[in-house]
Each structure stands twice: as C-alpha cells, then as structure tokens.
Amino acid sequence: MTKMRSGRFLPCNGSWSATVVMSITACGCLIFVNGARAQDVLAPAPVVFSTAPPVVTEIQSNSSGFIDFGNATPAGALQEKPFQVGPLDLHPHFSYQFLYATGVQFAPGSAQDTITQNVSPGLLVDIGRNWALDYTPTWTTYSSREFHDTWNHAATLNGVASYNDWLFGFSQTYNRSDSPLIVTGGQTLQQIYVTTLTGSYRFNTVLSMDLSAGQNFTYTEHFTNTREWSTTDWLNYQFWPELDGSLGIGGGYDNVSVGVDSSFEQYQARVSWRATQVTSVVVHGGAEDRQFLGSSGSDLLSPIFGATIRYAPFPSTAIALDADRSVTVSPFLDEVIEATDVTAMLNQRLLGKLFLNAGGGYHWDTYRSASSVITTSRRDENYTLNASLTCVFLKRATASATYQYSENLSTQGGFGFSSNQYGFQLGYQY
C-alpha cells in the first residue's frame, strides 16, 4: 500500500490512483443531477481546460488503463507556469462564442430566432498541488429583444488531501445562469450552490469504502426553490485487479420554498470492470423510495441506474456511452421529475491539431405529482445531435466550429420546440 503522510498527498500507483479519480469524479455527481433538472436549450461552449487539482491531473495521466476522454487542450497550457506567486500558479483564460439559434423559446409556446454572443474572461488558480480555484464570469448578449442580456458567473473550488490511509475530496461550486431552459420553456434565472465532501478508505488489498455527503441549493426566479442534503456510501470489494463490485446505500432530504418536502432512501449495487487496456465499464443500479412529507400522496418507488462505457481503440480515438436515471425535484409546485438520459460521444484527433467531437443524446422526463391535490401528466422527450471541430494554434489558443440540433416533444402544450444552432468559439489560455 502506498504510504501516506498526514495532510499531504503523494503521487501513487495502483488501486489508490483509481480511488482518487473516483473520489474527484464523485464531487461532480450532484452537479450532474442538477443539470438533469434544468437542461439548457442553447449549446454550451466547448470546454478546453480542467479545474481538477494538479495532482489529480497527474494521476489521471499516469494511471494504467485510464482512458483520457475529453476535448482539445492547448499543449503545455497548464504544464507551464507563466504567472507564479508563491504557492499560487495563475492561469488566465478567455473565450468568445458566437451562436445563431433558431426556435429558442422566450416563453412557453413563443419562440424566436436569435444571435447570442458570450464573452468569458476567467482565472484558474492552482493552490499548491492539491487545490484548484476557478472563476469565470460570462457576458451574454441576444440580438432578439425578446431576451434580455445577462451577466452570469461560475466559480469552482476543488481539493484533495490525505490522512494516514484516508483520501479526502472537497468541491464547492457556484453557478448563476439566466438562459433559456427546457423545463420552464423560457429564459430563467437560476443560482445553484453545490458542496460535496468525499472520503475513501482502504481496509486491505481487496476491501475499501467510499463515502460522500453533499448539499445542493437551487434558487429559481418565479419558481420553487430547493435545498437538498444527501449522502451515498459504498462498500467495495476487488474480485480481480480488473473487476470491482460494490454495494451502496444513500438517502437525503429535499426542502422546498413552497409545497411538499420529501425524503428518500436509495439502495444500489455497482460493478467496475476494466475489460481491456482500452475498454472500461462502470454500471450501477437500484431503487429509490421517496416519501412526500405532510401530504396524502403515496410514496414514489423508482428504479435508478447509471452506466459509463469508455472505448479507445486507438490513441487518437475515444468513444463514450453514458446512461443515467434519477429523481429530482421540479421547479414547479409539488412535482418531481423522473429523468432518464442516454448519450453517446465520439472524440477523434485529426492531423495532430484538429479535434472532432460528435455525439447525440436522448433525454426523457416524466413529471410526478408530490400531492394528491395537484395532478400532472407532463412528459418530455428531448433529442440532441451535436458536433464540434476544434483546432489548437499558437500553442495556447483554440478555435472551434459547432453545430447542434435539438428537439423537445412534450405532452403539455407550449413546451415543444425544435432548434438548429450554428456557431464558433475562440479561446486562449495560459
């Protein structure tokens, strides 16, 4: 077993490396769940840098069998340290996105074509090797007067630490966005605060556990606000070096500003399998039992699951398939959403400095009533196809051309739409 020192994290090999990667990935789970709660209509700008602490990036790069699946990153941008102040490494970054979009809803049943422009200056700060802080404001303008221009903000603090045989992860994010959302059918102001703590402990060479606790506060203007506290804990057993099995139990409490609060319990099993040096599979599934407090409505028993498959047949090619099913609180009064996602993505490097990302997704939302007084029959099916071609130039700069088609079919009038979106992005990062 790799030796640890209190308060420090030492580069390591073997199973601890995989545990660290899993712990840091877990920090983003609550963020992903919230993303399923409020999907954006407009295509996001391609991401060209990571906010993981340097030590995690090193482990991901050096771990045997780790499949690097991501977007183009300027060569040497984060490896060099052009601006260093004591233990702080400063990495300024800037991006500009131009997007022409058709059929964007500014209110349910009302859509408009518009040009959006996003200007995003930002700063990533590596604090030693174990911590990373990023802040990126975004100024968004719309050509259509049906939308209002906005200043959005995104801040992320990620960290890892160790104590004896424990590995700990911490993540704090804040996101303010005022963009068109599928769930509300119009431009909607949201502020989201997510805090996640993770811990991993190895009892021996085959038995370990992963613990996590988090809170997710979502404030949506003119809709229901939600505060969620939750935990998910796993007991892992390594059958072979390439195969792990886990049993998990979790639960949480959702407090809403108006309406019915709820509590829930989750019971799951998980299998992690590195089939070959170029193929990895993680599958988990189980059930969630949700109780609506102070309501005459019956409990909601829902299947939940997730799957991640990564396949990299060549150094320049990676294919990913992801699936997820979860239950989240709706921004509408006394509703929850059973959300199912299936996405596929191809990442291909072309001619050394060109990166092609192409993919598609299917998103299915079923709205359930949390109260016997209010009923709902809304069901949404959303289809997305997207592609981007990114070029790295001048060592630290990127240029991307993007396209996205999305269509939402809803059983509730006013929430269906189809949209074509064409654009480009310029970025620069130290």
For range 7-13, the mean pLDDT: 38
pLDDT score at 132: 94
For range 30-49, the mean pLDDT: 59
| Mean pLDDT score of the chain | 86
pLDDT score at 66: 41
Model pLDDT for residues 343-370, shown as the tens digit of each residue: 999 999 988 778 999 999 999 999 998 8
Q: Would 88 be classed as within a structural domain?
A: yes
pLDDT score at 46: 61
Model pLDDT for residues 137-146, shown as the tens digit of each residue: 999 999 999 9
Model pLDDT for residues 372-418, shown as the tens digit of each residue: 667 778 999 999 999 999 998 888 899 999 999 999 999 999 999 99
The more confident residue out of 19 and 209 is 209
Model pLDDT for residues 104-127, shown as the tens digit of each residue: 999 999 999 999 999 999 999 999
The more confident residue out of 3 and 364 is 364
Q: Would 2 be classed as within a structural domain?
A: no
> In the chain, how many domains are there?
1
Q: Would 56 be classed as within a structural domain?
A: yes
Q: 17-26, 185-194, 195-204, 326-335: lowest mean pLDDT where?
A: 17-26
Q: Would 362 be classed as within a structural domain?
A: yes
The pLDDT of residue 5 is above 70: no
Q: Would 8 be classed as within a structural domain?
A: no
pLDDT score at 389: 94
pLDDT score at 319: 95
Report how far Cα 420 is from the mean position of its chain's Cα atoms: 23
Task: Find the CATH number of the domain harbouring 386.
Answer: 2.40.160
The more confident residue out of 47 and 330 is 330
In this prediction the pTM is 0.87
Q: Would 303 be classed as within a structural domain?
A: yes
The pLDDT of residue 3 is above 50: no
The pLDDT of residue 273 is above 60: yes
Q: Would 4 be classed as within a structural domain?
A: no
The pLDDT of residue 298 is above 80: yes
Domain that holds residue 45: 15-429
pLDDT band at 1 (very low <50, low <70, confident <90, very high): very low
The pLDDT of residue 16 is above 50: no
pLDDT score at 135: 96
pLDDT score at 391: 92
Model pLDDT for residues 40-82, shown as the tens digit of each residue: 888 886 665 667 777 776 665 555 444 444 455 554 445 567 7
pLDDT score at 22: 47
For range 184-207, the mean pLDDT: 95
For range 305-333, the mean pLDDT: 94
pLDDT score at 52: 74
Q: Would 142 be classed as within a structural domain?
A: yes
Q: 18-27, 57-66, 319-328: lowest mean pLDDT where?
A: 18-27
